[in-house]
Structure 1
Amino acid sequence: MKYSVNMHRFLPLFVFFFVFIGWSQQVTVLDDETNEPIPNVAIFNPDKTKISITDFDGNFDVSVFMDEDRLIFKHISYELKKATRLQLIKNDYKIHLVMKPERLDEVVMSVSKWEQQKKEIPNKIVSLDAQTIAFIAPQTSADLLQSSGKVFVQKSQLGGGSPMIRGFATNRLVLSVDGVRMNNAIFRGGNLQNVISIDPFTIRNTEIIFGPGSVIYGSDAIGGVMNFYTKRPVLSQKGDSQISGNANYRFSSANMENTIHADINLGKKKWASLTSFTYNDFQDLKMGSNGPNSYLRNNYVRTINGEDILVPNEDPRKQITSGYNQKNFMQKFLYKPSVNWDLNIGAYFSETSNYSRYDRLIRPSRDGDGLRSAEWYYGPQKWFMGNMQLKRKGNGKLYDTFKFTVAYQHFEESRNNRDFQDIILNTTMEKVDALNLNLDFENKKIGNFKLYYGGEFINNKVGSQGSDTNIETKGTTEAASRYPDGATWKSLAGYINGEYKAKPNFILMSGLRYSHVWIDAMFDRTFYAFPFEEADVSTGALTGSLGFSWFPKQDLQITFNGSTGFRAPNVDDIGKIFDSEPGSVVVPNPDLESEYAYNVELGIQKNFKDKVVLKGATFYTYLVDALVRRDFSFNGLAQIEYDGELSNVQAIQNAAKAYVYGFEFGLDAFLSDHWSLASNLTITEGIEEEEDGTNSPARHAPPTFGDFHLKWKNEKLTTDLFVNYNGEIAYDDLALSERSKDYIYAADTNGNPYAPSWYTLNFRSQYAFTNNLNAIVSLENITNQRYRTYSSGIVAAGSNLVVGFGYHF
C-alpha cells in the first residue's frame, strides 16, 4: 500500500520528465566541410523574440521555438542559414553551415608551414577551398588551377596540365601535397603532367604562392609553389561512433566523361579513418567548330594486319586517341590521444591507363605528306605516397609546436614511340623512389615576434631502362635508357623564418635557408661513347626573403617582398638522352651549376566600404646561370645519329639569363546580398639573354590572360556567368623553341606560326535540393570556339555540357 502511494506521488514527475524529453531536443550545428561543431552560433526566429546560442559542442535546445517558427542561423564566419523544425527532424537534428569565402582566406599555411593570417603575409597567395572546388567541379587538378583565373595551364595531351606562374613552369615550380613536395630528380624542363595525380575530390584547400618560395621549399621554388591540402579524418564529437561520407557523379559531353567518387569517414573519440576512391573515364576530346582549320584532326594512323595506314577522320573535330582513364585512392588515419598530440597517417595512390602524347601524334612526316609517328604514348603514370606526421602542441622552451613528417613516394612512367611503318617500338621506363624527412618548429612566445624554423632531408633514386620491341615477332632487345640507371639526388637543408609585428598595422617577415645538393650518376657506355663515365655534383645555395605588409589605413594594404630562389640541377638536367624536337637530340652534360633568381614584387589592395575590393601587383624576376637547352658538341661532333635520323646535338647548359616581369590585377564587387562581380587580369613578359648578348622571348611567359565573372547566389542556388580570354602571341614574340612546332600553331598572313587570341563564354550553376543532395549543371564554351591555349598540343574542348550530383550523409 505504501509502495503504490509513493508511485502515485511521483507519477506527475515521471509524466513531466517524459514530456520534457519529448519536447526538449538538442540540435547540433556543424561545419559543412569538416563536420566539426560550431560554437556561438545565434539561432532566432524572424521577429527575434526567441534567441538561442550554441554551446562549445555546437548544440542548442530547439524546444524554445514553436513548430511553425522558421529558424535563422547566424555566425560571423558562416553564410546565413534558414530551416524549419521539420527540416531539422528530417536531418536527424543536425544542420550544416557553409563558411564564407572571405573568412576562409584569412588563414593560410603555405608560407611558413604553419597557420598565419593572410593579411600579414607580404607574398601573393591564392586560396581555393573545398566549397569552391565543388562548385567548379574540375576534371583534374590541372583544370582546378586554371579555373582560378590566376594560373596559366598548358596541355600537350588530354591527360596533362603543366602550370605556368609568372613566366616559369615545370621544374621551376614546386608541387606539394599535404606538405610533402612531389618534385623529384627527373622533373624536366619540358611540360609535366604530375599534377593530374592529385584527386580534386579529396582536396580540402589549395594554396598557390606567387614568386620564389625557396626559403621554405628549397630547390625549384622559383616561379611559385602549389600546395594541395587533402581532406582530414574527423573525430566523433560524442562518445559513439559517427559515420559520414560523400558520393559524387559527373558527366562531361565534350569527352563523354564518366566520373564516380565515394568517401567515408568513421570517427571515434580518439581516432578516425577516412577512405576515398575516384574513377575517371575520358573518351576522345571534341574541339569547337569556330576557329582555325589547321587545328582539325583530318587523318590518323591505324594499324591493320600489322601494317600502318593513314586513314581520314570521319569527324575532324574529334581528337582521335586522346582519351584515357584514371583511378585514385586515399586512406587516412588520425589518432589523437590528447589535446596536445596528433598522429596522422596517409596512403595515396593514383594510376592512369596508357595515354597518347597527342602533340607527337599530329607531327607531320619528314616529307610532309603524312604523319611521323604511328604510336606515341605514355605508359601508366603511377604515383604512390605513404606519409606519417606527428604533431605536438605545448609550451616548450624552444618551440610551442613541432611537426615531424616522414614520407615515401614512388613514381613510375614510361614513353613508348614508333615511327610510321616502322616495326620497332622503343620504350623507356622510369621509376623514382623518394624519401622525405621534415622537422618543423613554431615559436610564438617572443613578444611580437614569431619564429618558424626547421630542417629537411630528401633522397631520390632513379631507375631507368630502355628496350626495343619488334611488333611483328614480339621479340624484345635492350636499348639505351633515358637516364643513368641508379642515379641519386640528395638534399639537406635548414631554414629559419620570422614574423615581427612592429606596429599593429605594420608586419615584417624575413627568412634564410641553406640547401646542399648531391648528385651521383654512372653512365652506361654500351650504346653511346660518352666522353665521361660519372657525374659527381656537390653544390650549395643560400636563399633569403624580406618583406612587409602595411595598412596605412584600415581599408588600404600595401605589401612588398624581395626574395631569392634557386634550382639545383637534377638527374634530368645532367643525364637525359631524348629527342627534344624534330632533328635534335639532347645528350648528358655533367658540368652544371645551380641557377638563381632574384625577385621583387609590390602589391596594393583597396577596400571600398566592403562593396568593392581592388587588387594589384607588379613583379620583376632576374634569373642568372639559367639552365637552358642549347646547341652542344658530343665527342667533338655537332650532329649524331639518333633513332635513325641525323640530329643536331643539344644539352642543358648554364648558358643564359632571363628577365621576367608583369602585372596582376583583380576586382571583387559585392553588388547586393545576391549579386557579385569578380575579375582577374595577368600580363607577363619574359626575355632570355644569350651569352653572346642576343635576346629571344622566354618560352614559359604566357599570353595576357584573364576572366570576368557575374555571380548570383541565394540559400539553394549559385550561378556564375563568366568569360575566359587569352591574348595573342605574334610570331616575333614566340619563343624560338616554339617556332619549330608550327604544326600546333595557326599561321599568320605571312605563313608564320603564331598563337591567336581567343575567348569563351561559360555558365556554371549549383543547386542544393536538401542539405545532403546537390546538383551542378554547367555549359562551357557556349559559342563553340576552336582554340588552343598557348604551347598546347591538344585543342581545347568545344561546347561542353557538365552535369554532376553530390550526396552527403
Structure 2
Amino acid sequence: MKKYILSTLLVFVYHVSAFSQEITVVDSQSKEPLTGVYIVSEDSKVTRVTDTQGTVSIAAFQHKRGIIFSYLGYKDRRLTYPQIVRDGLVVVMESEALTLGETVVSANRWEQNTREIPLTIQRITAGEMKLQNPQTAADLLGVSNRVFVQKSQMGGGSPMIRGFATNRVLLVVDGIRMNNAIFRSGNLQNVISLDANIIENTEVIFGPGSVMYGSDALGGVMSFNTAAPKLSAGDETEFKGVALTRIASANWENTAHVNLKYGFQKWAGLSSFTYSDFDNMRMGSKGPEEYLRKQYVARIDGKDVVVNNDRPSIQYPTAYRQFNLMQKLRYRPSDDWDIRMGMHYSSTGDIPRYDRLIEKREGQFRKAEWYYGPQQWLMTSISALYHTPSMLFDQAKVTAAYQDFEESRNDRSFGSSFLRNREERLKAYSATFDFEKLLSAQSTLFYGAEAVVNKVHSRAHRMNIETSEKSAVASRYPDGALWQSYALFAKYKNNLNSRWTITAGSRYTRYVIDASFSDRFFDFPFSKAELNKGALTGSIGGVFRGGESWQVNAHISSGFRAPNIDDIGKVFDSEPGSVVIPNPNLSPEHAYNFELGVQKVIDKRLKLDVTAFYTLLDNAMVRRDFTLNGQDSVMYDGAKSQVQAIQNVSGAIVKGIQAGMELRLHPTVTISSTMNFQKGNEEAKEKGQVPLRHVAPTFGSTHINWTYSHFTFDLYADYNGEISYRRLAPSERGKPHLYATNTAGNPHSPAWYTLNLKTSWELSTHLSFYVGLENILDERYRPYSSGITAPGRNVIFSIRANF
C-alpha cells in the first residue's frame, strides 16, 4: 500500500512539473543563472538553450531517456526527467578550470557557442556589472576594457570600437536596433538612455556586423540584453525583487533602483524603476592645469558675467538627473509559443554641454548657455517565438517595435539676449523576422528579413530671454523627412568535423530617403532629396579547433552605412567659424575587414587570446569644405562661417591588435589583462594621409581578483597611451580647449593610468554590500577627445537587497 501511494505521488509530481515544464540552470557557487546552457537529448533529436534568466522549457524531453547539460567552463551533467523534477526543477552546474568558449546570442541572432563563431565577441556578465557598479550604460561598456568611451559632458558617453564611433557603430537593445536617422557623425550620448541597473548582459561584436544587423554596423555591434520575466516552476505564484541604492563621492551620485518579478505558470511580468541624481563632477588633483575650471559664466542682474571659480576642480555646470522605467510581460500558452512584450522609458533633466561651455574665442567664452533639453526615449516591442520543427524552420521569431525619441539643443552666445532652441522628435517603426533551420546534424541556416521606417520632425526658434518674445529660425533637419530600410539576410554554418567550422552570409538592403527643404532661411540650389539605393554585404569565416585547448579564427566581412537624414539634411555649426549644410547627393560607405585570432589555454590555468584586424573604409562620408550658390562662406548665427557638407570624398584604413590574458593562480585568485592597440589614417584633400578622428589611443586594464568566502576583491589598473599632436586628427587640433598643451605649445592627449579597488560582501542570499575606490591616486586626466575631465578619487557605496 505504501509503495502504491509513493508511486502515485511520484506520478502526480511528475505530471505537475510536466505542466510547468520550465527549469532554471544555475552556478553551484554563486547560484547565478547561466545563460546559453546547451541541452540535448541522448539521441540528439531535441535541443534547447537557456535564456538570459537561465531558464528553459524541457517539455520536449519528457519521454527521453537522458538529458545532457553542457556549458563551456562547466562540467557536463547527465540527468533524467524524473531526477530534474525531484531536484525542484533546478539544475546546478559546477565550474571547471579555464576553458575556451562561451554562449552568445548576438552573432547570428540565436544562441551559439563561440567555439563555432569566427567573430571576436566580448561578453559583459551580470556578475561583472554588479561588482563594478557603473553609473550609466556608457560606463558599463567601459567595463569590457575593449571599448573606449568618449564623453563631451557628464550626461553622455560615445563608444569607440576599432577606430569607428557614433553612427558607424550600432546599438541594439533586446534585439532591436536603437540607431536612427538622426544619429550623427559627432559624438553621441543616446546610450545613456538605457538603465545599466536592469541589464542582464552585454555582448560586443567587433568588426562589421551588417550581415545580421544592417546599416551602421561598421566598427561593431553593442547588444544589450535586459532582464526578462520568469515563469513559475510550480503551482504557486513566484514573487521576487531587487532593491538597490548607490552613492558616489566624485559627483555625489544618488541612485535608487527597484525591480519586481512575478511569475505564474503561463504569465510572468517584470517592473523596474531607477532614479539617479548627479551633482557637478569633481576632477583629480594631480595632472594638467589646462583642465581646471578656473572661471565660468553666470547671469547676474541681467548680464553675462565671468565668475572666478573658488573650487576649480569642480566642473561647473555638469549636474543632471535621470529616471528609467521598464515593464515586461511574458505569456507562454504552450510549449511551442513564447510571447514577450516590453516597454522602456527614459527621461533626463537638462544636460549641460560642458565642452561647449569651456570654449573660448579670442580669450572670451563663446557661449553663456549650452544644454541639451530633456532627452526622452520610449521603446515598446512585442516578440513571438515559435519553436516546432517544420520544413522551413525549426525556430522562428517575429519582433515588432516602436520607438519615440525626443531631444533638443539650447544655446546662447555670451552677451546675447537670444536663446536658440532646436527640437527634434523621431518616430521609428521596425519589424524583424528571424528563422533558424537545422539542415543536418552538422549544418544550420539562419535567415530573415527586416523593415525599418523613421520619420523626423524638426523645428526651431529663438527667444529673447528678457522679453520672452519668440521668432522662427532654421531647424536642424528638414521637417517631415522620411528614412526607410528593407532587407533580406542569411547566414550558413557548417561543422565540417570536430575541428573545422565554416560560416558564410550575405545581406541585401534597400534604403529610401525622402526629404523636402525650405528656402525660408537658406537659398539652397535644391528643394528635395530623394534617394532609393541598395547595398550588398557579405561575410565568410572559419574556425579551426586544435583540441580543447586552442583554436584559430579567421573572418572576412563587409559592412555598410547608408546615408541618413543627419548626413543629407542637417544645418548646424560644427565648430567655430564653420557651418554644415545639406548635401542630397550621397551614397553608402562600405567597410571591408579581415581579422585573424588565436586562443590558447595552457594547463587549464592560463588563457591567452590575440586578434589582429585590418579594416578598409571606402567611399567614406566625411565633412569637407563646400560651396553654397558659388560662395564658400555665409553668415550663420551672426558670424561669417566656412561652408561645409558631408561628402563621399574619403577613404580610411584602420589596423590593430586586441590581446587578452587570464591566469588562474588558485581557484580563488585570478589575474587578467587586456590591451588594445589601433592606428588609422584617412585621405584628406591636399593633405594626403591624416590621422582618423575616432581611433582611440592604446588602452588596457589589468585586474587581480580574489574571492574568499562571501567576499570578492578586485584590484585593478586602467591605462591609456598618449595621442601626440602629430597623431591628433585635424578636426581635433581645431579644439585646443579640450586638450593639454605639450612643450611646443600644441594640443595633445597625455597618457594616464588609474589604480582602483572594488569589493563585495554577500552577507546573505538576501543582502549584499559593495564598496569601490576609483582613481585612488586622484589623477587628473581627460580621456581622448572628451570635453569633460574624468572623476577624481571616487568612493562608491552600494547596498543590494534581494527579496
Q: TM-score, normalised by structure 2?
A: 0.89
In the TM superposition, residue 715 of structure 1 has moved relative to its aligned partner by: 3.4
Q: 1:57 to 1:344 in 2, by over 3 A?
A: closer
- Provide the rounded CA distance (Å) in 2 between the counterparts of 1:630 and 1:284: 36
2:318 is matched with 322
Matching of residues 142-541 of structure 1 within 5 Å: 142-364=138-360, 366-368=361-363, 370-541=364-535
Whether the aligned pair in 2 keeps the contact of 1:104 and 1:129 (CA below 8 Å) is no
Whether the aligned pair in 2 keeps the contact of 1:77 and 1:99 (CA below 8 Å) is no
Matching of residues 545-564 of structure 1 within 5 Å: 545-564=539-558
In the TM superposition, residue 690 of structure 1 has moved relative to its aligned partner by: 2.8
Q: 1:143 to 1:104 in 2, by over 3 A?
A: farther
Aligned partner of residue 731 in structure 1, secondary structure: coil
Does 449-458 or 707-716 show the bigger shift? 707-716
Is 1:747 aligned to residue 741 of structure 2?
yes
Aligned partner of residue 232 in structure 2, secondary structure: coil
1:389 counterpart letter in structure 2: S
Whether the aligned pair in 1 keeps the contact of 2:615 and 2:653 (CA below 8 Å) is yes
Number of aligned residue pairs: 743
1:109 is matched with 105
Matching of residues 130-145 of structure 1 within 5 Å: 130-145=126-141
Whether the aligned pair in 2 keeps the contact of 1:265 and 1:275 (CA below 8 Å) is yes
Whether the aligned pair in 1 keeps the contact of 2:660 and 2:674 (CA below 8 Å) is yes
Alignment counterpart, residue 623 of structure 1, candidates 603, 617, 620:
617
- Provide the rounded CA distance (Å) in 1 between the counterparts of 2:286 and 2:514: 52
1:71 is matched with none
In the TM superposition, residue 446 of structure 1 has moved relative to its aligned partner by: 2.5
2:79 is matched with none
In the TM superposition, residue 556 of structure 1 has moved relative to its aligned partner by: 1.5
Matching of residues 696-707 of structure 1 within 5 Å: 696-707=690-701
- Provide the rounded CA distance (Å) in 2 between the counterparts of 1:490 and 1:29: 41
Q: Deviations over 1:248-304 (max 9, x none)?
A: 001100000000000001100001010000000000000000000010000111112
Whether the aligned pair in 1 keeps the contact of 2:38 and 2:70 (CA below 8 Å) is no
1:573 is matched with 567
Q: Deviations over 1:680-725 (max 9, x none)?
A: 0000000001355711000000100001111101331111100000
Whether the aligned pair in 2 keeps the contact of 1:78 and 1:97 (CA below 8 Å) is no
In the TM superposition, residue 57 of structure 1 has moved relative to its aligned partner by: 11
- Provide the rounded CA distance (Å) in 2 between the counterparts of 1:501 and 1:39: 16
- Provide the rounded CA distance (Å) in 2 between the counterparts of 1:617 and 1:491: 33
In the TM superposition, residue 135 of structure 1 has moved relative to its aligned partner by: 1.1
In the TM superposition, residue 801 of structure 1 has moved relative to its aligned partner by: 0.2
Q: Deviations over 1:560-613 (max 9, x none)?
A: 000000101000000000110111110000011111111100000111011000
- Provide the rounded CA distance (Å) in 2 between the counterparts of 1:806 and 1:154: 29
- Provide the rounded CA distance (Å) in 2 between the counterparts of 1:661 and 1:462: 36
Q: Deviations over 1:476-506 (max 9, x none)?
A: 1111100000001000000010100111111
Q: 1:573 to 1:771 in 2, by over 3 A?
A: same
Whether the aligned pair in 1 keeps the contact of 2:24 and 2:33 (CA below 8 Å) is no
Aligned partner of residue 565 in structure 1, secondary structure: strand
- Provide the rounded CA distance (Å) in 1 between the counterparts of 2:101 and 2:256: 29
Whether the aligned pair in 2 keeps the contact of 1:39 and 1:57 (CA below 8 Å) is no
- Provide the rounded CA distance (Å) in 2 between the counterparts of 1:239 and 1:525: 67
In the TM superposition, residue 321 of structure 1 has moved relative to its aligned partner by: 1.2
In the TM superposition, residue 77 of structure 1 has moved relative to its aligned partner by: 7.6
Q: Deviations over 1:500-542 (max 9, x none)?
A: 0111111001100000111000001101111110000111111
Q: Deviations over 1:279-337 (max 9, x none)?
A: 00000000000000010000111112221111011100000110100000000000011
Whether the aligned pair in 2 keeps the contact of 1:34 and 1:234 (CA below 8 Å) is no
Alignment counterpart, residue 653 of structure 1, candidates 647, 652, 664:
647
- Provide the rounded CA distance (Å) in 1 between the counterparts of 2:574 and 2:313: 28
- Provide the rounded CA distance (Å) in 2 between the counterparts of 1:631 and 1:99: 61
Q: 1:39 to 1:505 in 2, by over 3 A?
A: closer
Q: Deviations over 1:116-146 (max 9, x none)?
A: 1111100000001112111111000100111
Q: 1:258 to 1:693 in 2, by over 3 A?
A: closer
In our comparison, the structure showing a higher alpha carbon Rg is: 1
Matching of residues 781-800 of structure 1 within 5 Å: 781-800=775-794
1:802 counterpart letter in structure 2: I
1:339 counterpart letter in structure 2: D
Aligned partner of residue 518 in structure 1, secondary structure: strand
Aligned partner of residue 462 in structure 1, secondary structure: strand
Aligned partner of residue 140 in structure 2, secondary structure: helix
Q: TM-score, normalised by structure 1?
A: 0.89
In the TM superposition, residue 803 of structure 1 has moved relative to its aligned partner by: 0.4
Whether the aligned pair in 1 keeps the contact of 2:760 and 2:770 (CA below 8 Å) is yes
2:78 is matched with none
Q: Deviations over 1:400-438 (max 9, x none)?
A: 000010000000100000011100000100010000100
Is 1:708 aligned to residue 685 of structure 2?
no
CA RMSD of aligned residues (A): 2.5
Q: 1:29 to 1:144 in 2, by over 3 A?
A: closer
In the TM superposition, residue 238 of structure 1 has moved relative to its aligned partner by: 0.9
2:672 counterpart letter in structure 1: A
Whether the aligned pair in 1 keeps the contact of 2:100 and 2:601 (CA below 8 Å) is no
Q: Deviations over 1:199-229 (max 9, x none)?
A: 1111111000000000001111100000001
In the TM superposition, residue 79 of structure 1 has moved relative to its aligned partner by: 9.1
Matching of residues 690-701 of structure 1 within 5 Å: 690-691=684-685, 694-701=688-695
Q: Deviations over 1:57-106 (max 9, x none)?
A: 99xxxxxxxxxxxxxxx9988999xxxxxxxxxxxx99997986979962
Is 1:763 aligned to residue 757 of structure 2?
yes
Q: 1:762 to 1:525 in 2, by over 3 A?
A: same
Whether the aligned pair in 2 keeps the contact of 1:35 and 1:234 (CA below 8 Å) is no
- Provide the rounded CA distance (Å) in 2 between the counterparts of 1:715 and 1:242: 29
- Provide the rounded CA distance (Å) in 1 between the counterparts of 2:770 and 2:91: 19
| Runs of 4+ more than 3 Å apart | 28-36, 74-80, 93-105
- Provide the rounded CA distance (Å) in 2 between the counterparts of 1:276 and 1:297: 37
In the TM superposition, residue 554 of structure 1 has moved relative to its aligned partner by: 2.8
Whether the aligned pair in 2 keeps the contact of 1:162 and 1:192 (CA below 8 Å) is yes
In the TM superposition, residue 553 of structure 1 has moved relative to its aligned partner by: 3.4
Alignment counterpart, residue 738 of structure 1, candidates 714, 719, 732:
732
Whether the aligned pair in 1 keeps the contact of 2:129 and 2:143 (CA below 8 Å) is no
Q: 1:710 to 1:164 in 2, by over 3 A?
A: same
Q: 1:251 to 1:270 in 2, by over 3 A?
A: same
2:678 counterpart letter in structure 1: T
- Provide the rounded CA distance (Å) in 1 between the counterparts of 2:563 and 2:346: 27
Whether the aligned pair in 1 keeps the contact of 2:89 and 2:233 (CA below 8 Å) is no
Q: Which runs of 5+ in 1 are unaligned?
A: 1-9, 18-27, 41-55, 59-73, 81-92
Whether the aligned pair in 1 keeps the contact of 2:385 and 2:398 (CA below 8 Å) is yes
